[in-house]
Amino acid sequence: CSRSSVSGKLLFYVWLTPLPFLLNRIKASGLKLRFCTNETQATREGFVKKLQGMGFDISVAEVTAPAPAACRILKERSLRPHLLVHNDLVPEFAEIDKTNPNCVVIGDAAENFTYGNLNEAFRVLIGMEKPVLISLGKGRYYKETDGLKLDVGAYMKALEYACDVQAEVVGKPAKTFFESALAEMGVPPQQAIMIGDDIVNDVGGAQQCGMRALQVRTGKYRPCDENHPHVKPDAYVNNLAEAVDIILQQL
């Protein structure tokens, strides 16, 4: 595993559970930082409010998330979405015309992933000459306090198969997602590090963008990740605190 030196810049991924003092250590070091999340069950404002309630010093401007990226695409291409998303995420699309849909946007809709709702999205897509399916991620599963749960990728694949369409992914691991975060900070990929628990979405996505990536052995990490046939992290760390220690020691 490599522990290459880090030069003055950092792209930093956190999934809802680290201690706030680790964030303060990063900020005090002068490194640039972004929270890169595939959270699609809440707006960025809701996501930030949740973290602030846990003691994090974080602003909406420090969060890169899929829904705003999808809205930019919809506006640029004059697309009117049929939304299959979580109810709490709908406000992100408040300024988007949704009449007479000419595409489908799918996110982690959780309890909204019913047969009826999936079939409605299917009917929108199958009725188009050139169906457009935009997915706010393609994760297979994620971890909550009560265990692992199916993520948006499973439902995205169902619609792809039924409608013979290739989804456009705007969340992790899409290269454009990481490029957006880097552009917001004004940092080249060679000077950025991703820390995440998802071998494909976090580590693989960052590396294909030219970044280095560390995988933490917490969260959704599973031992079999270390034998992944395609994605090899630059290093494994046991937890977020260890990752921060390594990075700051290398400055």
- Token output for 245: 């220690």
Instruction: Tell me the mean pLDDT in the region 115-124.
Output: 98
From residue 142, alpha-carbon distances to 42, 44, 182 in Å are 15, 18, 24
Same domain? For 116 and 95 the reply is yes
- 3 located within any domain: no
Range of the domain at 234: 20-38+175-249
Q: What is residue 159's three-state secondary structure? A: helix
- 14 located within any domain: no
Look at residues 142, 177, 135 and name the one whose alpha carbon lies nearest to residue 156: 135
Residue 54 has a pLDDT of 85
pLDDT digits (tens, 9 = 90+) for 23-68: 888 888 999 999 999 889 999 999 999 889 988 889 999 999 999 9
Same domain? For 101 and 159 the reply is yes
Same domain? For 128 and 165 the reply is yes
CATH code: domain of residue 34: 3.40.50.1000
- 13 located within any domain: no
Q: How far apart are CA 18 and CA 24, in angstroms?
A: 11
Please count the structural domains in the chain.
2
- 4 located within any domain: no
Same domain? For 143 and 219 the reply is no
To 10 degrees, what angle do helices 115-126 and 152-163 make? 40
pLDDT digits (tens, 9 = 90+) for 143-165: 888 888 999 999 999 999 999 99
Same domain? For 132 and 194 the reply is no
Counted residue by residue, the chain has a size of 251
Q: Please check the confidence at residue 189 and state whether its pLDDT lies above 90.
A: yes
Instruction: Report the mean per-residue pLDDT for the chain.
Output: 89
Contact 58, 91 (CB under 8 A): no
Look at residues 18, 44, 73, 24 and name the one whose alpha carbon lies nearest to residue 196: 18
Same domain? For 93 and 162 the reply is yes
Instruction: Tell me the mean pLDDT in the region 79-87.
Output: 97
Q: Are strands 35-36 and 133-135 parallel, antiparallel or unpaired?
A: unpaired
Q: Please check the confidence at residue 5 and state whether its pLDDT lies above 80.
A: no
Same domain? For 92 and 163 the reply is yes
Q: What is residue 110's three-state secondary structure? A: helix
Same domain? For 105 and 158 the reply is yes
Same domain? For 165 and 181 the reply is no
- 91 located within any domain: yes
- 143 located within any domain: yes
Same domain? For 179 and 162 the reply is no
Same domain? For 198 and 155 the reply is no
- 133 located within any domain: yes
pLDDT digits (tens, 9 = 90+) for 171-180: 899 998 999 8
Same domain? For 189 and 213 the reply is yes
Instruction: Tell me the mean pLDDT in the region 101-127.
Output: 97
Q: How confident is the model at residue 13 (pLDDT cuts 50, 70, 90)?
A: very low
- 199 located within any domain: yes
